[in-house]
Amino acid sequence: MPPVVIALDGPSGSGKSSTARGVASRLGLAYLDTGAMYRAMTWAVLERGVDVEDADAVAAAAAEVVIESGTDPQAPTITADGVDVAGPIREQAVTDAVSQVSRVPAVRERLVALQRLTIAEHADGIVLEGRDIGTVVAPDAPLKLYLVADTAARAARRAAEQGQDEAAHVEATAASLQRRDAIDSSRTTSPLAKADDAVELDTTHLTLDEVVDEVVRLAVKAVPDLGGPAS
């Protein structure tokens, strides 16, 4: 049996992590936040004092870094070189540099290999979210979703999460999301893209619970075995 993978892709702040965690919890599946892996790699590269514009230096540094992800959707974890980096990877310095680091093919090769290993370890079911899950990491996934939401909604949600809903902050957040989307969509190696067979879901006017309900419904339809007692 091929591994049961639910692939969730989409632009920054479209609700991938929250949705993926909710779906994995509801269906009793593992969960992998691949964006956290790219952020952890970026944190480690910055810690080494590497210029993220220098792709060769990034590739050399990245070869040494050990990234480990915990896949419990209720308590996901992420470490780089044994350090718990769950907090630091959300800081602005990492957010500003992560798209540059993610463009480097050697970084992607390493992390995609790790992601596929994690899929193999959870063949009975895992929800992965990122930018290239449906197109590159798990092209045979039985269910692929591409989440989108208006930039204004994404920025407002992110700003609210940070407890900073003043107009200037929301505007700066929108600019940061758009800047990352532009770099992530235009890179040569596995850019942010909707897989041809992915279902696009616009979450702008949906609550998180409504989105999770819809993805669970689609998952059970695509993989009827998922509709067992855990859901």
Binding residues: 10-18
Contact of 38 with 98, CB cutoff 8 Å: yes
Stretch that binds ligand ATP, among 70-78, 183-191, 204-212, 218-226 (CB under 6 A): 204-212
CA proximity to 218, closest of 148, 147, 149, 151: 147
User: Does the footprint of ligand ATP cover residue 15 (CB under 6 A)?
Assistant: yes
In the sheet with 5-9, reading across from the earlier edge strand, the strands are: 30-33, 126-130, 5-9, 143-148, 199-202
Considering the complex, state which of residue 59 and residue 141 has its C-beta at the smaller distance from ligand ATP. Answer: 141
Considering the complex, state which of residue 140 and residue 210 has its C-beta at the smaller distance from ligand ATP. Answer: 210
Stretch that binds ligand LCLUPRNS, among 31-39, 43-51, 167-175, 213-221 (CB under 6 A): 31-39
Contact of 100 with 183, CB cutoff 8 Å: yes
CA proximity to 198, closest of 152, 130, 151: 130
Work out which of 14, 19, 34, 100 binds ligand LCLUPRNS, going by CB under 6 A: 34
Residue 15 binds what, of ligand ATP, ligand LCLUPRNS, none (CB under 5 to 8 Å, by partner type)? Answer: ligand ATP
What DSSP string describes 57-124? HHHHHHTT--EEEE--TTS-EEEETTEE-TTGGGSHHHHHHHHHHHT-HHHHHHHHHHHHHHHHHTTT
Chain center to CA of 72:
15
User: Does the footprint of ligand ATP cover residue 203 (CB under 6 A)?
Assistant: yes
User: Does the footprint of ligand ATP cover residue 92 (CB under 6 A)?
Assistant: no
Considering the complex, state which of residue 208 and residue 220 has its C-beta at the smaller distance from ligand LCLUPRNS. Answer: 208
Q: Which residues bind ligand LCLUPRNS (CB under 6 A)?
A: 12, 34-35, 38-39, 98-99, 102, 130-132, 180, 184
